[in-house]
Structure 1
């Protein structure tokens, strides 16, 4: 399996001391089991607690220890040390796909029926817990006259001048968008022609702002440091709520999944899988979608039944009439992320 060379290891002793201090003991004061849940921190993890963890505690008595951030280097360290103390981790499915059976547990609970999820969104070591999109939006305050209406406008700095913010990660939707803007039909985007995509992005490279975090994207949008953005559903919503006058462009966008994965060697694999199945059930999926504005993972949950706010609806790519959408090809990214990341890094400094 390919190695993600851009990742670094953390010290075993530091990790284990930190984790134990965060509550690594698996027995609660009354004998209930505990699951250690690693995630992104901030509001998203608070939403996970409210919509997903608290109902499971009510149902089963299982308690949760929450820590953040969830990083692949820490998983690698725990597994290699034979001391896995995380039970569930909210991190990219790419890692679970690339290191399935090595760093992450294969999912074998019958309740995690892959047929319940949209095609192309599952793997041996992951199922989706929610769905989102990489959304192209513009700041309406900066375009009082002609408005962007198609993905080609993101790459047209003559008609639509201004900085464009993108997350500094090649899987954030920019490569696919570049190919479609260059004339590739969405259904033929994969396998990605990386060099063609980068050639197209070269035409606006001087206008791109590579954001190191989603928080930085939000702040730059609110401060009007850019006129366009390509970013995830939840961050689009929060940026708009924070004062950025964003308008989504429903022409072409990529969709993706969020996933909870189970690190290899957890002593609570079966309970963790039960939690995964519970998370995707309609009641929890609906509650989480309502809080975050993301979409439920399972196909049978009617998105029209979710009481989204008007702002959440505005940036929800899974509602009707939202243009052309393609799911990012999971297997292609699992097999090619290392090479793409290396090329992306070289291209940025070249």
Structure 2
């Protein structure tokens, strides 16, 4: 699910030091002339998402059906997080809804840059099985994605790695490895799982132990990948035999006959969500869109178009088994994986990331 990690990492490098610069001011002025008067009328709702195939899937599954039902047109923008914060701090956000990673929604909450949600206006979020961790004061989860273990099926004499312990077992599963680079949080959890830490005992992370385990395979980690398609490229070329990857990124290659597979055991889940920026000009329509997107049938439609898992369990009643098996929130995958602890990572990100950078360059 790649662009989300890039999206958040850009924000993490700018949050806390945002100033309303000339570029942001110019952008704000331009948007004021082109779109906001219409938004205030209630006929146009401005949604920020990160575009690409994700944006196109949202248009087909969410925005166009919402417009047909309500008459409210959706305008999509792709502001960077520094631009978003600058506009909010000026009191003139040029978007009404933000579709971003849940860790970013928490950061916006900490920056007093988002509106507290009135869950009384979100009937499809109440008593529908959405995990409590995704029902935060200023953001509601909308989809799951995950990092998983991927490998070449022709690399290990018919054996298949079934855990992160196997990823670390260079004797039984020899060959070059790849791990995620700075596009997202360092993958310390996988090292700890490889060393026998249970899923429910990961947090708070034992950082020293994780780096000791990472040292065991450092000589075989030849690449730190930086974009979502890269693990598949490395694996398909035989540059590495096993790699972490974002689930769903290999599916087309597997369908084309490339000898690749991935393992859900030990998957690290993260979530996208919706929030409303502080000062949104069209909150009523924003609530209507968010509630619409949480309908089970809409969640299922989105999952058929883009490989993120629904947060509403009833959505799986609208999905075939062949689709559900590839999604991070199927019941079996929920049991075999874990949710990244956003609060822990935000509290420890600076020190851990610096240490990881030093390790990766060693």
- Displacement, 1:318? 3.6
Quick one: structure 1 residues 277 and 313, their matched pair in 2 at CA, closer, same or farther if it must change by over 3 Å?
A: closer
Q: Measure the CA separation in 1 of the matches of 2:205 and 2:249.
A: 26
- Displacement, 1:64? 1.7
The 5 Å alignment of 1:268-287 reads: 268-287=282-301
The Cα offsets for residues 271-303 of structure 1, whole Å up to 9 and x where unpaired, read as: 22221121111121110011113221123x152
- Displacement, 1:71? 2.8
Unaligned runs of 5+ in 1: none
The 5 Å alignment of 1:109-188 reads: 109-112=119-122, 113=125, 115-116=127-128, 117-169=130-182, 174-188=187-201
Give the equivalent residue in structure 2 for 1:261.
275
Give the equivalent residue in structure 2 for 1:201.
214
Q: Which residue, 352, 356, 362 being the options, matches 1:340?
A: 352
SS in 1 for 2:98: strand
Give the equivalent residue in structure 1 for 2:14.
7
TM-score normalized by the length of structure 1: 0.85
Give the equivalent residue in structure 1 for 2:91.
82
TM-score normalized by the length of structure 2: 0.83
Quick one: structure 1 residues 5 and 60, their matched pair in 2 at CA, closer, same or farther if it must change by over 3 Å?
A: closer
SS in 2 for 1:251: strand
The Cα offsets for residues 76-133 of structure 1, whole Å up to 9 and x where unpaired, read as: 2222333211222332211221330612222124133464311322321111111222
- Displacement, 1:21? 5.5
SS in 1 for 2:302: helix
Q: Measure the CA separation in 1 of the matches of 2:19 and 2:360.
A: 27
Quick one: structure 1 residues 46 and 125, their matched pair in 2 at CA, closer, same or farther if it must change by over 3 Å?
A: same
SS in 2 for 1:288: helix
Give the equivalent residue in structure 2 for 1:191.
204
SS in 2 for 1:234: coil
Q: Is the 8 A contact 1:165 1:211 kept in 2?
A: yes
Q: When the two structures are aligned, how many residues end up with a matched partner?
A: 342
Say what the alpha-carbon RMSD is for the aligned residues.
2.9
Q: Measure the CA separation in 2 of the matches of 1:267 and 1:28.
A: 10
Give the equivalent residue in structure 2 for 1:316.
327
- Displacement, 1:189? 0.6
Give the equivalent residue in structure 2 for 1:53.
63
SS in 1 for 2:104: helix
- Displacement, 1:48? 0.7
Unaligned runs of 5+ in 2: 1-10
Matched, 1:38 2:48: yes
Quick one: structure 1 residues 15 and 162, their matched pair in 2 at CA, closer, same or farther if it must change by over 3 Å?
A: farther
**Greater helix percent: which structure?**
2
Deviates more, 1:282-291 or 1:232-241: 232-241
